[in-house]
Amino acid sequence: MKIGIIGLPYSGKTTFYKSLKAVDQSEDKQARGKTSSSIIKVPDERLDYLTQVFNPKRKVHATLEVADFMGDKDPEIPTFNNKFSTVAKNFDAFILIVRGFEDPTIPHIKATIDIERDIKTFLEDAALFDLSFLEKRIENIEKELNRSKNKEQIIKTREILRKWYEKLLSGSLLFDLELTKEELLLQKNYQLLTLKPLIIAVNFSEDSISSSSLIINNLREKFKIKNISIEPFFAKIEYELSQLNEEETKEFMENFGLEEPALSRLLRTTYELLGLQSFFTVGEDECRAWTIKKGMTAQEAAGVIHSDFYQKFIRAEVVHFDDFKVCGSFAKCKEKGVFRLEGKDYLVQDGDIMHIRHN
Ligand SMILES: Nc1nc2c(ncn2[C@@H]2O[C@H](COP(=O)(O)OP(=O)(O)OP(=O)(O)O)[C@@H](O)[C@H]2O)c(=O)[nH]1
Ligand SMILES: [Mg+2]
């Protein structure tokens, strides 16, 4: 899964990106032009707990690839230029950083701080980007249609694209569309921005922690759109947090009245919007968090671990993390009757600890 961090210049994107990286000490995978990207480990307290219990040789986190885009300093350049359109299609979701902090020494491209304006402008620009993309695509399809023998498929595609185009033209965004399987496949090949989940992360300064939740609630009312989630975060604090050890982190968060690092929350939200969930495998060698789509069966999940496990699947031994935590050991789980044997059609739940029995 690939997540892009986007937004206006000086909104805090790189500060955010750096704290993600620092937390996990992962390395830059590549620095392509102005965009750097890295694989980051998804923080998960459940995995931390399991690692404490099993003391394995290896602890393997779920990962996400995150890329940090640079905002264009020229206000005349549209938010999404051609360069952006060529990379956008490789991403599964975007995190839009919106500036909510005042700092006279750091310029805002529009001179004033106005969170609502910036979100609105972004959504309008995104809609225009999608409209112009669809317009070109539909034009090309008309040409293809004249040449091609397999007209049926192309006509189907054209129908879908026209439907999306009309929706945008009427002033709506595509975020709330329920996609059919066919549309989902089509969407994968395109860089339509308003079809991808969006996390809007408002970057507040440390002195507005207490007022931020009211502002966020208001924004959530105003931009109540399916597949968009609006979250507060505090880039500067997060960055400082990412430089501290566990104990210092606790103390620091208590001082600021924070319950959970915003990074964990943001990544969890991203997971939810992408329809992802985690299951765990545990043992002396390795404790590991695996990422799967919600609605996957035990057999499909086994296939994520190893394709052989899919073919040769017999049963899954399953304990939910919450039950395990109460019991403390598998033996106790069996005693309490929360240790289950599930067949190939069992729908895996977020937080399941699984052991796959196979041939
Ligand atoms: N006071 C204050 N400064 C911040 C905060 N977040 C970021 N900054 C500062 O704002 C400046 C710009 O932050 P960046 O994270 O580099 O911004 P960016 O969005 O990556 O900007 P571009 O890459 O140029 O598009 C830096 O000097 C940060 O230290 C904040 O919450 N409060
Ligand atoms: Mg930057």
pTM: 0.85
- Kindly provide the b/e burial profile for residues 253-274, where b requires at least 16 CB atoms within 10 angstroms of the residue's own CB: beeeebeebbbebbbbbbbebb
pLDDT tens track for 23-46 = 554 444 444 345 778 888 888 889
Q: Tell me the best of 6, 10, 105, 212 to mutate to test the pocket of ligand 1, counting ligand atoms within 8 Å of each CB and taking the most.
A: 10
More confident site: 116 or 63: 116
Q: How far is the CA of 221 from the centre of ligand 2 (A)?
A: 29
Is residue 350 classed exposed, middle or buried when 0-12, 13-18 and 19+ CB atoms within 10 A define those classes? middle
C-alpha torsion 258→261→266→271, nearest 10: -120
What's the CA gap between 228 and 153, in Å, rounded? 31
More confident site: 45 or 349: 349
Tell me if 79 CB under 6 Å of ligand 1: no
Tell me if 109 CB under 6 Å of ligand 1: no
pLDDT tens track for 250-264 = 888 888 877 777 777
Distance of CA 355 to the CA centre of its chain: 27
Tell me if 91 CB under 6 Å of ligand 1: no
| Ligand 1: nearest atom to the Cα of 72 | 25
Which residues partner with 36 through β-bridges? 31, 68
| Ligand 1: nearest atom to the Cα of 204 | 31
**CATH 3.30.70.20, domain 2-273, yes or no:** no
Domain boundaries, the chain: 2-273, 295-358
Mean pLDDT of 45-66: 93
Tell me if 339 CB under 6 Å of ligand 1: no
Q: 83 pLDDT exceeds 80?
A: no
pLDDT tens track for 193-235 = 899 899 999 999 988 888 999 999 999 999 999 999 999 999 8
Q: How far is the CA of 66 from the centre of ligand 2 (A)?
A: 13
Tell me if 101 CB under 6 Å of ligand 1: yes
Confidence of residue 77 (pLDDT cuts 50, 70, 90): low
CB 125 within 8 A of CB 88: no
Q: Tell me the best of 14, 70, 74, 79 to mutate to test the pocket of ligand 1, counting ligand atoms within 8 Å of each CB and taking the most.
A: 14
295-358 CATH? 3.10.20.30
The mean pLDDT of the chain is: 88
Which of 300, 100, 108, 301 shows the shortest CA–CA distance to 204? Answer: 100
| Ligand 1: nearest atom to the Cα of 12 | 15
